[in-house]
Structure 1
Amino acid sequence: MHIKSIILEGFKSYAQRTEINGFDPLFNAITGLNGSGKSNILDSICFLLGITNFNVSGEVRAANLQDLVYKNGQAGITKATVSITFDNANKSQSPLGFETHDEITVTRQVMVGGRNKYLINGVNANNTRVQDLFCSVGLNVNNPHFLIMQGRITKVLNMKPPEILAMIEEAAGTRMYECKKITAQKIIEKKEAKLKEIQTILNEEITPTMQKLKEERSSYLEYQKLMREMEHLSRLYVAWLFVCAEETKVKSAEDLKVMQDSITQLQANMAENENKVQELSAQIQELQKKRDQEVGGVLKGLEETLSEVQRVDAKAQSAVDMKKQNLTEETKKRKELLKSMEEDKKMLVVKEGEVSKVAEKLSALQEKGQKDSAALEAAQSHFKAVSAGLSTNEDGEEATLAGQMMTCKNDMSKADTEAKQAQMKLKHAQQELKAKQAEVKKMDSGYQKDQEAFNTVKKNKEKLEADMGKLQYQDGKEEGLLDRKRQLNREVTTLRNTYESLMSRFPNLRFDYSDPERGWDRSRVKGLLANLITVSDVSYSTGLEVVAGGKLYNVVVDTEVTGKKLLEKGELKRRYTIIPLNKISARTLNDSLVTTAKSLVGEQNVHTALSLVGYEADLRKAMEYVFGSTLVCDTLDNAKRVAFDKRVMTKTGTLSGGARSQSASVLSSLQELREVQDSLSATETALQTLDKELAGLKGTAERYRLLKQQLDMKTEELDILQVKLHQSSFHKQQEELKMLQKTIEECEETLHSSNEVQKKAEEKYKVLENKMKNAEAEREKELKAAQQKVNSAKTKADAFSKKLKERQQAESLVLELEELKREQAGYEQQILAVDEAMKTIQEQIDNMSTTVAENKESVRKAQEELTRQKKVIVSQDKEIKGKSTEANHMREKTNESQLKIKELEHNINKHRKDSQDAVAKVHFLLLLEEHDQERGLFGQPNTGYDFKVNNPKEAGQRLRKLEESKTRLERSVNKRAMNMLSQAEERYNDLMKKKRIVENDKSKILQTIEELDQKKKEALNIAWQKVNKDFGSIFSTLLPGADARLAPPEGCGALEGLEFKVALGNTWKENLTELSGGQRSLVALSLILAMLLFKPAPIYILDEVDAALDLSHTQNIGQMLRTHFTHSQFVVVSLKDGMFTNANVLFKTKFVDGVSAVSRTTQAQPDQNKGPRKGPSQRHNDQFRQRNITGHQL
């Protein structure tokens, strides 16, 4: 298969449709000036063959598919098309699936934007199908050994012996085997690891498990043995229970008959007792009716009569007692008055003596003093009033004697009326007081009970209050704590939502894992590095993030063992890098370097990254590992000065920076996250503390509520009792007694004051009456007295300035004397009044005593009659009580009989039920034990149920012990041990089988590798011999008289490496450095062509491989291609006519008006067997026949 024609349209410099026809099946050359588009023809072939990655391959000079379009599509051409027609007449070289086609046309088209498509014989095809087509004939564009570029020759020259050997392996096809061998060895390593894993499982899991299960199987077998013994004993014991139940059943029938007879007898007794009770009840009703008539008629009347007589007697007696009390008081009062009068008399005598003495001394004081002048004026005024017929009253007012007497009469009458009213009111109140006191005494017992109940409840209340005080619990405290708890729960929810919201912005900061093993110490895992640092200055956050990079999300642990367990069994949600503190190697900057850096840009402008972060002391190695070797500067200029100063940084120093991210820095946001987390932790701690406080307070609160409830009940009960006491008759009577007592005191006070007023008024009236009788004499007397007073006042006024003190003393004595005289007169009058009152009271007492004696006699008679009637009623009550006692006795007998009957019925039912249950249970046990058919053997000798040989009671005791052992064993025995052991043995056998399979596979793979290694050596040896032969032949053709070969280095074998050996004439060179540059290029080119000849392809493309050769060597290359490659088509790009003169067809390119054009020239080649070859210039003139190829067609 070879190229017949190429059509280019819009491809690189070929803007218009260009058809290049007439390709020679063997040797074609392309030449032209630089930039005229000759290499673009080779690019179009590579492009069509399916190349995709231009940057890697380098075979096509374009960065991407769009570069293949003419002027990148900017000249109105938007697609590039390449179409090549292949001659497929030689079916031995035909691609798979195209044996029926004589020609194959393949088209590839790419459009601006990168979209491209393939067509095979005008039908759309995908890239894979096109590559399969070309690969089937040895044209793999991704491994293009058919394409020889100028750079490949240089590459071959620089190859070492192993690399040259690798080329031979590639040509022989054993290279793929080496790759497969490496893969197989890796598989063997995996198999080895699998074997180790299987062995580990056997040693650590299955073998111990099997050993444990074997022990458990022994326990289970012992358990089964115990169950069998229990089954045997259970059958014997159940049989014995059944026999006992059968005997009990027979005995129960007799017991039931006895109990039923007892019930019948008791029922008969009950009926007899019931009749007697009915008779007694009738008799009691008749007696009760008669008694009620007595009580309601005669007794009630007698009681009312007695009550009325007693009331009258009490009232009369109260009046007598009151009079006697009044008489006693009056007697006492008279004695006190007499005593006071005697004392005043003595005092009067003393005072009169004193006054007489003072009067003698103060006779000269009558005419002195300013105040005596006023007395003089008063005396003068009094004298005038007396002269006019007026007199002076006690108030010092001037009035007539008649007017003063009328006033005294009015005062006496008023005082007498008030005294009588008070006396009547007092008498009535005293009578009522005595009656109420008698009634109160009768009601005192009920009230006392209520008062005692009130005091008891009050004490209980006070005790409850004391108990509540001891609790030291404030009412509402628990409710307040519960409100606080609800508030904290809301705060926790809010903080948790805020925390989750912040965490959702930085999901990489979330690190969760499960405990790898039981009892795991979580302090061994420190957490993400980002969560373990704090940044004091937020302005450096971005720089620190750049320093840490991906390490910011590494997990810090204490040891590598912790890290391994965390990775294997920690159930991590994503991949993490672990930093073990005990293994990590820390790198830090030395102090001199930091000092130098700070001296360059200033103390505050550069810092070590480690100094900008805060961390716990035990995390220092991890922090030094991440931040220890980096400096952070405040500005880019300072960073440049530090980074590029050789005193600070080595040649490996780096400068990192960039634009600030618009989003918040992770480290700066971490501060907010930590604050929220700290608040959340603090709130949760407070919530836990509150829960503990509530838990501790719960008992106290419950006790407090219980006491408070009891206190409320007691308070309510106390209020009810207090209301009951206040509303009781006794309390009301007490209140009335207090009111009566108060009334008596007021009346006595009123009576006393009225008596005093009346006495004074009577005394004054008598004095005035005496004055009225002796009016004229009194008037003269008063005139004289008034005159004397005037004179005396004048004398006192005159003597006042000298004897003021004596005057005052004298006046005081005079006043005292006058007061004593008045009191003396009052005593006499009071004694007379008391005597009169005592006489009157005594008369009243005598009269009342007769009435009281009569009342006493009436009371006595009424009491006797009432007592007699009560005795009659008491005798009736005794008869009724006797009848009632007898009836109650009968009822008690009836109740006892009923209880006995119920007890017997209950015993009968219980006896029946127990008997039935026992029989049913034994029958059930018989059925359960599946030996109901053996019932006839129970208790029979010489059987398994012989109770004499096998003691059933001992069997029952043994059975209970076995039950205990069974219960104990059931807690520890593994009933699945047999199955689990079978499963473990099955798993063990399965693993052993897999282990044998893996070992067999390993043996087979190793055996196959040995066999293939031998075949590889044979194939490599054949390829080496063939390539070596063609290498020498081609090189001698390119450089006549020279020879070359591939030989192993000294001391090595051919399979360890090959190197070039070159001979010029008969001299073999030591190495290629002794050759010229052109000769070395010929050596490399010869090897490449020899490799191509070993496994020829249908088409070869050579791109200026003769660039470094002179003309003679170039001519030899052309000659060599014609002689050695007679079954392949060559397309050669060259600028030297020594190369293309050997070509059968020559294509020339030129660049016209910005578009490439191609012309085709066919040259006739001379027969190599006829005459010498002409020179190049002569052949150029004589043998070329040329015609131009336009931009549209040839």
Structure 2
Amino acid sequence: MRIKKIEIEGFKSYSQLEVVDKLDPQFNAITGLNGSGKSNILDAICFLLGITNLANVRAHSLSDLVYKQGQAGINRATVTIIFDNSEQQPAGYGKCKEIIVRRQIIINGRNTYQINGTVATNQRVSDLFRMVGINVNNPHFLIMQGRITKVLGMKPLEILSMLEEAAGVRMYECKKLNAIRIIEKRDAKVDEINKLFEEDILPRVERLKKDRENYLEYQRIEREVQVLERKFNAYDYHNSQLQIKELENKAQTFRQQITQVVKEIDQLQQEAKREEENLRKMESECAKNTAPEFQKLEKLLKEKQSSLAKIESEKDGKEADFNELLVSIERKIESLTGDRQHLETKRNYLANAQSENGTVEQQGLSAEEAVQRARLRLEALARGMTTDEQGNAVTLEAQLIAARTKLSEQQTNSKKLEMQLSQSRKVIEKKRLELATFKRRSSGDHESKRKIETEISKIERDLHSLNFDPELEKNFEAERKLLSREHAEITRELDNFEARYYNLQFNYKDPYDGFDRKNVRGVVAKLFKLKDPKFATALEVVAGGRLYNIVVNYAEVAKVLIDKKCIQNRVTMLPMDKIEVRGVVSKRQIQEAKRMVGDENVFVPRELIEYEPELEPVINFVFGNSLICLNMEQANLLTYKNQNVNCRTVTLNGDDLNPRGILTGGSRNHKASVLSALHDVFGKYERVSQINREQHSLNAKLASLRPIQQRFEDLNAKLRDHKHHLDAVVTALKSNPVEVLTEEIGRLEQEIKDLNETMENVLPDIERLKQLIRELEQQKKDENFHENEKNNAQRELDNAKKELERMKDTFGSAKERLASLREEISLLEQSIENDRKELAQLEKLRDEKNTEIEKFAAKVAEANESVQHLQDDMDKYNQDVRLKDKTLRTKAAEISEFKKRISQLKNKQLSNEKDAQEAIKNSKEFAKRAQQLERIHRWISEEKENFGLRNTEYDFTDFTFDIGKREIEQRKDRIKELSHTINTKAMHLLDTAEGQCQELDVKRSQLVKDKKQLYDTIEQLDERKKRELIAAHKQISNDFGSIYSTLLPGAGAELVPPAGAENCLSGLEVRVAFNGKYKDSLSELSGGQRSLIALSLILAMLKFKPAPFYILDEIDAALDISHTENIGKMIKNHFSQSQFIVVSLKQGFFDNANVVYRIQFKDGRSIISREENNRQ
């Protein structure tokens, strides 16, 4: 890998880029005067190779390597070397014919390497050069000034270090030291792991094992408590059931005895009659007391309803006016739209007519103008005058004077234009010269401007490719706000509605995260929609309490909601998978009912509503057992008179007839009907669902827009930054002489262009005026001029009249048609403008009326609320009356039963009745206890069949309440004791700790294994290094003696271990002999002899393991001319496989080089020139 080219810029004395090009692959010499910068080239090579000791390149810091330390406006030093890699030596670079290494330092900045244009680390560059035997920090290929004398002063170990570098084992030593340091670090890590094992992990594992045992015991006892409590509760329930049966048998015995006493029935009937009379008196008194209050409420309600009707009437009138106004606005808009379309059609007609008849019209107008011109000319000639170019009547003399004046003016303008052109051309040439000068100085700003403009174009293309409209996001947000506002308003209305009809509300909380709310359908009343509101009351009576049941998809869902206590109120659940529909009216019954009263008089409830098909079981369960009729007569006929129908029937007024003989009904308040009110707001529920879907869609659209919007905003911000930067650059350029001169040159070029165009217009005008003057002078001299002109004018007039007469028909019709279209268009435009103004006035009036309607709507809502409050008071009053009535009847029944029981007790077995009451009381208590247990523990209803069976978990043999309580308390005491020390996370923590323990043990074993492998490898490599060094010592010592005897005939030299050493591994010393006799010390030699010894040793090492290139810096300084020539010849003849770059001041040395580079120092910087040495 040889050096082909060196580029130096800003390094030491090389302020500008200097290139050492076309280096000879064998022998290159660098020469020049002292201080010219010869050695700086070698320093640049060492700098690129990564030298760390800056003293070797005569610098204290990296900033010293920059030209004048950055004080001359140069703040960076750059060295680039191109290596010939045709031999493909370094591993990993086999495909590279050239390797380009570049190093740059910046004052107060970064220090960077690049290999083939890619940024590289210092270590990567160092490894690259070491792979080809180049280590600049311990170089055997580099012999700098003073290195010769340093070699002679080296100690045995330093000479051994040179031998190691030459043998190629020095890099191994570095790697070995690094490996040993890593092993030491790993040993510390192993110690740390062992300490962690002994002090932390193992004690923690033991502690967690104990915690796990306690936790497992805690769980076991908890399970035992649960089993015992379950068995205890089962025993309690089983015992209660046994007691109930026993007590019921006792009570039954007593009742059988009491029923035998029937002798006192007549007496009891008389007493009942008297009690009924008393009750009637009580009812009469109650009616008298409550009548005034009822009349007062009824009167107030009628007044409020009358006031409400009046306000609603006024509101309806306003809404009717408003609707009429809306119709007027709509008609006006339709009229305006039609006029605009008509206007557009007329304009199209006009355009087509102009394209068809425009030429005819223009020709007719031209013919009229020709007739007019001919008449004016003839009239002027009749007065002894003529006409000018504009058709004005003037004399020939006046025309001649005007033409001469105009000619004089144009000739003056022509001369002025020529002078201005000449002056402008001189100025522009001068400015162009100045511009060329300044352009060479300021090309950087223009390049920066061009780059910024390119980047701006790219950003604008990216923005365009996004195809993003910023207004779209704003529109979506505005639409979402409108929907949110509408949703809030409707929700508020629905909340008020549900507050009035609280039974329609069903609120619950999710039993667990991820609960699917779709499995809860909701209240039955909200799951269908009335087809006709008149059936609301009848359907409400048919459904009864089931109207407020809660529908769920699965029984498991209902169970979870109840078990998790997710529902605040007591409700009845209808699981769709468990519904059993019974007593549904059959098709035969329906057909028979229609036959009896007519199709139009009987209705099937489920056919009067709309619902989802999957809700069919629920609808049948709620409505399936009844029919609806118009009146009581029809209902009575179907329910009681025909056994083929014989089903429950409900009238439109809400009368309920049951085949079992039960009849309920009476006056009902239709306004209070839940289904009727629900029908009125059903559309609002649907609107809320629709708004939710639209909001979900909008949110999805906004979410999809956000990445594009973010990209759009980022690009916009980047575009603004670039434009701001461009403005700054443009401003700087405008103040720049280049920009100012460019602008002035552009202005001058435009000025010259304008002057030329003006000149081109002036010159023909001058010629025309000259010709006109000649013609006028000739006409002035011609005596028959006026007569001839009159004849010509008369002919022109005749011809123009003929042409106009010829075109009269076509021209007239075209002109009339076009004028008519233009008039229609004008009228339409005026009509549209008037309609637009009227529309604006109507829209203003619409807004005013809308405001009035909103005010009336508020009044109606307020009046409605007052009426509703009074209606609620009436309902409450009626309910209180009914409750009182019920109380009286209940009281009467209780009195009758009491008297009956007294009569029985007086006549029969007073003591038995007391025992019966006690048995019944105890039975009820046990039944209540059993119900309570069954309600609390729902598993009892499933498992009670197994209670008391032997060999099961409910085997109650030898089990009592005391035994069960004692065992449960003992285990709970143990649980309480364990709960203070229990660690519920012990299982998880133990698994984690054991995993960490195992992982650390594996790592520790691996570390020990890796350490052993490393030491085994080091031992093998040390042995191989020893063999390599001994072999290298033998060969280098022989070459050392041979080279020295060649340079100094009769002398000899060798490398030997120090006294007492077995081999070269302890170090090496130099011995020199003259005529076979070895010298005791090198101090006995002359300076030249010592230099030759050092040089011979270095060359011997170079010969042992040749490097790709060698650098020699004035190694011949202490040698005379003959030895210098010998060294040059020896290098050329014996080191033909390596490249030498030498610095020398002696002619005899560099005369042997193939290429000589001469260095000169001019204008404060070094300059390089190349010469090829053709001397043989």
Query: Which structure is larger by alpha-carbon Rg, 1 or 2?
Result: 1
- TM-score scaled by length of structure 1: 0.36
TM-score, normalised by the number of residues in structure 2: 0.37
